[in-house]
């Protein structure tokens, strides 16, 4: 069944027990393809699969697309199923091994992935979300429990879920292997007779001895993309409810602020994924990172207080680049790549402006060539004070009263605003030293800061154009409550902006910057701003 609805019913019951038992019968015998096919046939907007069955789909979808033997006896056993090797055994041994082997086929993996995608089209996002680990909304967290399923992989499925703090733990390298090491699959069902075993037997702090843990495993990109589909569907459901576009489910994947504010700060885990995605050469993987960043930006654009602090988001980005030598060296290529792939809409441009401003402030608005915030590992974002120097693109929690989660039902969209022309000009006119200290990190290199100046001025002009167009439309003006900075208007009319561009890119060239690069930046910006007048 394929039922797609513009607005699905969120208050639907779980699938009837008799229907769930039909699926369980296949899982008990390791007939995964049949079980998934049965679940596909029973898919309906009038009920949702059980949490256990959704978790089974997630667990299976994390496997590589090949036939895999599940019931290996140790970590060094070969898990790839080889039917040709079985044919070389004696007839008696062949029958015995065929009966005892539990094989997860490539077709089952692909079927689980297709079904997960189909469920998002059929059911409301928040009806599927209970299968995901998340940060609790209350201080006391009850232990995770799911309905027992007569399945040969039930304990591994439960291990994957129980020891994950958030959905980001699902996609890390080693997550699947840890679950398998905790409960190696035998030839017998881990059904009702096994339910009384204690807590799942591995810690989320366990690591694979030989492999560095990466934010996304090689076989986890599908599931990460599926999570983006889920959060985007959740954001669309918010719009259908008359709220600004945002995903409450994504918010649950970000730790709550320690001081009790409804505004959350610590987005370091999703930021690891975003930056890792943009290090990949595949455009599809980079696009997943872009989608996740867009969803985070949506959370920073809300009133009466943003659900996610833009200051915290920027702090996480800068801290990631500053604390990692590998990321630090890639900053000049990754950050411009991220900015170029984001859509030219006011909320995103406001974020680009805020990030560029923060980088330039840290690097240039200090008496010493090194600012403390850029040379040490960033503090926990939720512990940072709200700064008055934040770009005026959104109203941060510092300018709004503290709210409780219940108060967020009356959300509205913050109005993106142009930054002060005077403040922008003061920052842009700051000369980049021709030679930086050897101890300077890449975020302070002359060539990188040259590019950031260009990105900031380009974003300023683009946002100015969008807001001016909207202000000429009376309907959109009343909708967005636009207030364009008059200083920008005067600077454009009097062509003062062209002098600002000359000042921004004039003077001695920073180290590793060619004259051709300066000319490209300057000519591009001049042509762009002349067209705005």
For every residue of 18-67, DSSP letters joined together read: HHHHHHHHHHHTT-HHHHHHHHHHT-BTTBB--HHHHHHHHHHHTS-SS-
Q: How far apart, in Å, are the Cα atoms of 146 and each of 53, 71, 81, 195?
A: 10, 23, 30, 11
Mind listing the pLDDT tens digit for each residue in 11-24? 889 999 999 999 99
What pLDDT, on a 0 to 100 scale, did the predictor assign at position 257? 82
The C-alpha atoms of residue 106 and residue 78 are separated, in whole angstroms, by 16
Phi and psi at 137, nearest 5°, equal: -90, -5
pLDDT at 346 exceeding the cut of 50: yes
9: helix, coil or strand? coil
pLDDT at 336 exceeding the cut of 70: yes
pLDDT band at residue 490, thresholds of 50, 70 and 90? confident
pLDDT at 387 exceeding the cut of 50: no
What pLDDT, on a 0 to 100 scale, did the predictor assign at position 335? 87
DSSP class of residue 308 equals: B
Q: How far apart, in Å, are the Cα atoms of 453 and each of 272, 357, 387, 457, 531?
A: 25, 9, 22, 6, 20
What pLDDT, on a 0 to 100 scale, did the predictor assign at position 211? 55
- 336 neighbors 395 (Cβ within 8 angstroms): no
What pLDDT, on a 0 to 100 scale, did the predictor assign at position 528? 94
- 264 neighbors 254 (Cβ within 8 angstroms): yes
Mind listing the pLDDT tens digit for each residue in 397-420? 333 333 333 344 578 888 777 888
- 275 neighbors 268 (Cβ within 8 angstroms): no
Mind listing the pLDDT tens digit for each residue in 119-160? 999 999 999 999 999 987 655 456 667 778 878 899 999 999
Question: Residue 69: beta bridge partners?
Answer: 103
pLDDT band at residue 215, thresholds of 50, 70 and 90? very high
Predicted TM-score (pTM) of this structure? 0.81
Long-range (24+ apart) CB contacts under 8 A made by 506-509 are: 507/431, 508/431, 508/434, 509/434, 509/446
Question: Residue 44: beta bridge partners?
Answer: 47
- 154 neighbors 55 (Cβ within 8 angstroms): no
Establish whether the linkage from the previous residue to 212 is cis, with ω within 30° of 0: no
Mind listing the pLDDT tens digit for each residue in 421-448? 899 999 999 888 766 655 456 667 788 8
Mind listing the pLDDT tens digit for each residue in 349-368? 999 999 999 999 988 876 44
- Of the candidates 12, 4, 113, 124, which has an alpha carbon nearest to the alpha carbon of residue 56? 113
More confident residue, 490 or 471: 490
pLDDT band at residue 163, thresholds of 50, 70 and 90? confident
- Return the sign of the alpha-carbon dihedral for residues 502, 506, 510, 515: positive
**Beta-strand pair 103-104/68-69:** antiparallel
């Amino acid at each position: 069944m394929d039922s797609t609805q513009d607005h699905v019913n969120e208050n639907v019951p779980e699938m009837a027990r008799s229907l769930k038992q039909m699926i369980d019968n296949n899982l008990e015998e390791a007939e995964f393809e049949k079980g998934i096919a049965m679940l596909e046939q029973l898919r309906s907007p009038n009920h949702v699969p059980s949490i256990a069955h959704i978790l089974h789909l997630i667990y299976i979808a994390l496997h590589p697309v090949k036939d895999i033997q599940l019931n290996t006896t140790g970590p060094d056993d070969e898990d790839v199923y080889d039917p040709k090797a079985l044919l070389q055994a004696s007839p008696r041994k062949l029958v015995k091994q065929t009966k005892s082997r539990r094989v997860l086929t490539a077709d089952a993996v692909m079927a689980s992935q297709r079904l997960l995608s189909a469920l998002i089209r059929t059911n409301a996002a928040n009806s599927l979300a209970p299968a995901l680990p998340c940060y609790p909304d209350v201080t006391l967290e009850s232990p995770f429990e799911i309905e027992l399923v007569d399945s040969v992989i039930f304990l591994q499925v439960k291990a994957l879920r129980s020891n994950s703090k958030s959905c980001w733990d699902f996609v890390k390298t080693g997550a699947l292997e840890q679950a398998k090491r905790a409960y190696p699959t035998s030839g017998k069902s881990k059904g009702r007779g096994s339910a009384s075993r204690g807590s799942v037997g591995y810690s989320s702090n366990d690591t694979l001895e030989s492999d560095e843990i990466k934010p996304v495993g090689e076989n986890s990109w599908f599931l990460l993309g599926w999570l983006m589909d889920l959060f985007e569907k959740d954001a669309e459901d918010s719009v259908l409810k008359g709220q600004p576009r945002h995903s409450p489910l994504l918010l649950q994947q970000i730790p709550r602020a320690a001081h009790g504010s409804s505004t959350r700060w610590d987005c370091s885990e999703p930021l690891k994924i975003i930056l890792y995605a943009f290090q990949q050469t595949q455009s599809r993987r980079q696009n997943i990172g872009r989608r996740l960043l867009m969803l985070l930006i949506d959370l920073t654009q809300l009133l009466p207080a943003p659900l996610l602090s833009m200051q915290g988001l920027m702090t996480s980005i800068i801290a990631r680049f500053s604390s990692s030598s590998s990321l630090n060296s890639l900053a000049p290529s990754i950050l411009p790549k991220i900015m170029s792939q984001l859509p030219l809409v006011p909320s995103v441009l406001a974020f680009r402006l805020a990030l560029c401003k923060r980088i330039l402030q840290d690097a240039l608005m200090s008496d010493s060539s090194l600012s403390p915030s850029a040379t040490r590992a960033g503090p926990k974002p939720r512990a940072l004070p709200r700064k008055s120097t934040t770009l005026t693109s959104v109203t941060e929690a510092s300018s709004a009263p503290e709210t409780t989660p219940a108060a967020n039902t009356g959300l509205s969209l913050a109005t993106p605003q142009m930054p002060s022309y005077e403040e922008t000009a003061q920052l842009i006119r700051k000369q980049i030293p021709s030679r930086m200290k050897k101890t300077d990190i890449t975020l302070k290199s002359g060539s990188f800061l040259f590019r950031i100046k260009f990105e900031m001025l380009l974003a300023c002009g683009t946002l100015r154009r969008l807001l001016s167009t909207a202000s000429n439309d009376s309907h959109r003006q009343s909708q967005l409550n636009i207030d364009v900075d008059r200083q920008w208007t005067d600077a454009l009319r009097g062509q003062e902006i062209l002098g600002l561009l000359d000042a921004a890119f004039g003077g001695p060239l920073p180290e590793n910057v060619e004259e051709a690069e300066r000319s490209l930046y300057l000519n591009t910006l001049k042509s762009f701003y002349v067209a705005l007048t």
